[in-house]
Amino acid sequence: MLLGGGAGLGRQLTPFPRPVEDGTLRQDGVYRYVRHPMYGGALLVMLAWALVSSPLALPPLGLAAAFLDAKRRREEAWLMVKHPDHAEYRRQVHRRFAPFVW
């Protein structure tokens, strides 16, 4: 998910939640199943790390999940303004971070 999401965005990839000016709404590839695959992939990597290293890594995972969910909400608000068809995309793709999970 992490790599597929980044590859799907290509030159539109940015660490900031505001969509790039000349970007398009991605609805193909991994984006057919989940709206924010890179966030989900990062959380899965953190979860795996926590499970193999120490339970003490779980609280930072919770903080990261809260941070990425807040970033997602801000990003989707901007996407709704920039791409009117984002509302329909959200109706079609229910999962935010991970297919069949969240």
Q: Per this entry, what is the length of the chain?
A: 102
- Determine whether 30 is exposed, middle or buried from the number of CB atoms within 10 Å of its CB (0-12, 13-18, 19+): buried
Q: For residues 102 and 98, what is the distance between their CA atoms, to the nearest angstrom?
A: 5
Phi, psi of 90 (to 5 degrees): -65, -35
pLDDT at 100 over 90: no
Q: Domain extents for the chain?
A: 2-10+26-92
Which pLDDT does position 59 carry in this prediction?
A: 95
The pLDDT tens digits of the residues spanning 3-53 come to 778 888 988 999 899 999 999 999 999 999 999 999 999 999 999 999 999
pLDDT (tens digit per residue) in 68-97: 999 999 999 999 999 999 999 999 999 999
Residue 11: per-residue pLDDT: 87
Which class for 38: exposed (0-12), middle (13-18), buried (19 or more C-beta within 10 A)? buried
Residue 97, by phi and psi: left (phi above 0), alpha (psi -120 to 50) or beta? alpha
